[in-house]
Each structure stands twice: as C-alpha cells, then as structure tokens.
Structure 1
C-alpha cells in the first residue's frame, strides 16, 4: 500500500475513533489533509467511499447514523473496535525480536527498540540479545540517500538529487515526487514521479550522487494506491521475459526457480528439468545458485552463466 493512502486511512480511523459522536462528510473533509486537497466534491466522495470500504475490509466497525439535522454521520465506537489482549508464545516473540533487529541500521531502529521495550514491560517472553545473536537479519541501508528519501516518502515532499544512469558518464539533476522505497536483489530503489519527464520513474539509490534535498510545495501528480517497484525495475531494465529457458536443477534446491517455472519434470533421482521465462538479467540470477543449476538452452544464456561462475572462481 502506498504511504499516502496508508496515512489517509490512519487519519480517517483516528477521526472516527476519537470522537464521541458521528461525524459528517463535511466535517471529515475539513479535518483530514488529504481530503482537503482532494479537489472537486466528486473526487472527495470517491476517495472517502473507497477509504471507508477499505477500513471495513480491514475489520473496522464503522456505523452509519442519521444526525438531528438530517445529515448522514459516521462513527467507529471504541467498544466495537477494541482488540482482544495480545498474547505471544516464545516462538512468536522471538520472531518479533528478529524483525526489530532488521531495522537496526535505519531510522526505524528507535521505534523498533521502543516496541520491544513495551512488549517486555507487558511480560512477553522476548529472547535476549545473546539468544538471537546467531541470527541477525538486516535490511541493508548503507546509501546516504535512504533516510532522507524515506522521510520524503512519508511526508510527501518533493526532492531533488543528482542521478547517474548506468550508461551515463555524468550525473544529472532530477526533480522527483517520491512514492515508495523497496529493496530488490540487494539494492534499494525509489519509485516516484519525475517532474521533468512527466512520467513515473524508478531510481537505484546507489546511483544517487551527493545529497538529497527536500523542496517546498506539494505533489503535482496523484500517488498510486499500489506502487509496484519490483515490476517497474524489471520492466525498465528489460527483464520482462521474451522466451523460455531450459535448465537442470538439483532435486530439493532452488525453490525460487521452481516457483517461477512454467514446466517442472523429473530427470533422474538427483536432478529436475525446468522451463522458466527468459529475459535480461536471468543469467545473473541463475549464477547465484552455483552448482545446483545447469543451463541447457539457449546457448547464450549458458555461456553467460558459465562466464559469471568462472569470474567468481577466479576472484
């Protein structure tokens, strides 16, 4: 879900829960920033109806009542929306502890640490640091651009930065309305609206040179409800499949490849044969599976994977 919509739903939920009386559409529109900026009355009505339905699908009980002056009002009573006591067993508590450590390198580390402290204070059986030290998953956030872009996505603030494309010798300034950040194949990407090109774009954070600067003003384009960062990266990198590749995969290995395969058939006790969509970038992915994968065809893909594995062996 895009940050803008999540923020809008949260604000609507807080408004409906925070008052002791039903609120009319007019009152909600003048209380929530996204509704104030909605433009026409029709745009607001469509947005509000979608948001109300989304909250109900998430389990929120929203009542529709008639007020004294005849207007329709909406209210979410606390007694109807109270969650039961949260209880965690040892395995679930350990999973939360690991999840909190994922963000220890980023700005969310403080919030994660605070959440763990509250759970400990409530008597939850959280594992100690030494107990989970063997498993310390981390979201890599080494790029300096990550934190300012994360804040800009949250606050819906336009930004400017110098960006060098993979095939360019020099960086150029980009003016972007940031939508969402996502990590894919070990790299962070930003999806947003490129003002100069008047189109959606995806930027790899490691190619941002220099500081990210926040700009004044509001977004000029509508933030999509869903931002498919990975699909956009694959599309613009030319990774959309154009044909089929045939590979041999060791039995019991390569589950991501099996999930992507269009055909899986047994070859012998040790190997299976798969057909998978073939596009740009597949060679690098297959090389990650090392000796568990043998490329049968096409020949250029086989050569690509062999070259990559030889380079790794020499290194």
Structure 2
C-alpha cells in the first residue's frame, strides 16, 4: 500500500473513531488534508467511497446514520471496533520480542520499542528486570546492513529490485536484477532469496555483499513465488552443510570456532595450529575464505585450489 494512501486511511479512521456524532462527507472533506486537495467534488466522492470500502475490508465497522433532515453521516463506534484482550504465552512473547530486535538498527526501531513497552505495561511476559542477569545469553538478530530495509519492503510489496553484488571470488560487484522473495538470518548474516532475472533461476544473496543502493523497479514478477521459500536450506547447501565428503584443514589455535563446532575430528599440534576434518560440500570454499589467514586447506586439492583462487581475486580488488 502506498504511504500516501495509508496515511489517508489512518486519518479517516481516526476521524470516525474520535467523533461523538456522525460526520457528513462535507465535514470529513474539510477535516482531512488529502480530501481538501482532491480537486473536484466527484474526485473526492470516489476517493472517499474507496477509502470507506478499504477500511471495512480491513475489519473496521463503520455505521451509516441518516439524520432527521435526510443528511447521511458516518462514524465508527469504539465499542464495536475494540479488539479483544491480547494474551500471549511465554513462547509467543519471546518470539515477538526477538522479532522486534530486528528493527533495533532500522527505521522502525522507535515504533518497535514503543510497542514492546505497551505490551510490558499490559502485563505481557516480555524480557524484564528479572531477566537482565542473563542478558549475555540473550539472542540477538543484527539488521545493520543498509540493504535490509529496502529489501524487506520489496519482499512485502512484491517489487523487483536492482543492486550491485560482489561474489566472494570476485574483485568488483556486478549489477543484479532480482525478484525478491524472502529474507532470513543464518549464522549472524542476512540472506535474500529470489529469482535472478539475468540467470533465469533462483539465487541466494548475502546482504553484506550488496554494494550501493537497492533500487526498486516497476512491473510485476515474471517468476512464480514458491509457497515455501527455504532460504536457510539453500544457504546451508551452498555453504557445505549438505556434505558429500570430508575436508582436512589446518586452523590457527583459538580461531575459527564455527569451524570447530562442525569438526568431525580435531588433532592438536604444537606449533599454534590444529588440524580438523569437516564435512565438505558445495560452497565450503566461500565460507573458508571468510576466516582469512587463520585457515589453510590441506585436502581435497580442488577445495584448496578454490580457496586460493578466491583469496587471489579478493587481493586483486
């Protein structure tokens, strides 16, 4: 929904809820800025009727009242538009609190914080003073990438986007045309799944590798959006989670804890390095490159060559 229309609907709803008596179309037109600027009377009437229908479709109960002199007025009685008491169990409240943290660095941070405060005031079992002792263990979902908010909006509105994207083995970004489907956080990083128009296939993009502005484009999607978009599964497969073999690496002591957590075997050395065996599958090379000089690939040879090529490409950039 366009921001201008959403604002107009909100103003109409507030007028109808805040009045103590039915308001005529003439009174509503002089009370709402968008109606004042509507131009002709016919243009205003069409806009008002559409807005009234939209509010009713959203669930608002609007009464039409005819006065003694035959004039029609409208109002929305508060007792007929009051939501039932909101009750959340501990698990639902925790999920809501965690979702709000996604906005801690985004434009809606203030709105999310205000909503949580209202829920706490209503007695919802959200994180409180009794849980501050365990704040070090509190889960957090970072949303610091500049691309997060425009991509979230594009996913919601089903709008194609373009952006510059640098692959892990590329020195410079290239322009991508994408129909965005869904965003998901995995291992502390945000990923976008969507249809890459240039490649004619589904692709997953890591937001931290997006450069420049994300620009939305007009027009409808050309590919059907799947009923279930398995972002995490796709990323996991590309990151070597769906393993087809074993890789042996040398890892600097005290580094690479995510790799250690996946190791099927670990051997300590006396020179400040450890040797590990980890599951090897498609995309593992891109993940190993992120650990930079703390990782040396021993085998297989094709994985070692892949990591070396990626590091050289980054160094050239």
Q: TM-score, normalised by structure 2?
A: 0.51
Aligned counterpart, 1:6: 6
Q: Are the structure 2 counterparts of residues 281 and 104 from structure 1 closer, same or farther at C-alpha, using a change threshold of 3 Å?
A: farther
Q: Are the structure 2 counterparts of residues 23 and 280 from structure 1 closer, same or farther at C-alpha, using a change threshold of 3 Å?
A: same
Q: Does 1:140 align with 2:144?
A: yes
Aligned counterpart, 1:20: 20
In 2, the alpha carbon distance for the partners of 1:72 and 1:283 equals 54
In 2, the alpha carbon distance for the partners of 1:183 and 1:142 equals 9
Q: Does 1:182 align with 2:182?
A: no
- Of the two, which has the highest radius of gyration? 2
Aligned residue pairs total: 197
**How far apart are 1:86 and its partner, in Å?**
1.0
Q: Is the 8 A contact 2:100 2:113 kept in 1?
A: yes
Q: Where do 5+ consecutive residues of structure 2 fail to align?
A: 164-174, 180-191, 206-233, 243-282, 288-305
**Residue deviations 1:207-264 (CA, integer Å, cap 9, x gap):** xxxxxxxxxxxxxxxxxxxx94732549x95457xxxxxxxxxxxxxxx98xx8xxxx
Q: Secondary structure at the match of 2:42?
A: helix
Q: Are the structure 2 counterparts of residues 139 and 4 from structure 1 closer, same or farther at C-alpha, using a change threshold of 3 Å?
A: farther
Aligned Cα RMSD in Å? Answer: 4.0
Q: Is the 8 A contact 2:64 2:73 kept in 1?
A: yes
**How far apart are 1:183 and its partner, in Å?**
2.1
Q: Does 1:61 align with 2:65?
A: no
Q: Is the 8 A contact 1:90 1:126 kept in 2?
A: yes
In 2, the alpha carbon distance for the partners of 1:45 and 1:108 equals 34
Q: Is the 8 A contact 1:284 1:308 kept in 2?
A: no
In 2, the alpha carbon distance for the partners of 1:142 and 1:238 equals 18
Q: Where do 5+ consecutive residues of structure 1 fail to align?
A: 147-180, 190-226, 241-255, 261-275, 294-304
**How far apart are 1:91 and its partner, in Å?**
1.4
**Residue deviations 1:48-99 (CA, integer Å, cap 9, x gap):** 1111111111111101111233221111111111111111111111122112
Q: Is the 8 A contact 2:161 2:178 kept in 1?
A: no
Aligned counterpart, 2:45: 45
Q: Is the 8 A contact 1:103 1:112 kept in 2?
A: yes
Q: TM-score, normalised by structure 1?
A: 0.51
Q: Are the structure 2 counterparts of residues 74 and 132 from structure 1 closer, same or farther at C-alpha, using a change threshold of 3 Å?
A: farther
Aligned counterpart, 1:279: 198
In 2, the alpha carbon distance for the partners of 1:31 and 1:284 equals 49
**How far apart are 1:110 and its partner, in Å?**
3.2
Q: Is the 8 A contact 1:182 1:229 kept in 2?
A: no
**Residue deviations 1:117-169 (CA, integer Å, cap 9, x gap):** 222222211134546954312333558xx9xxxxxxxxxxxxxxxxxxxxxxx
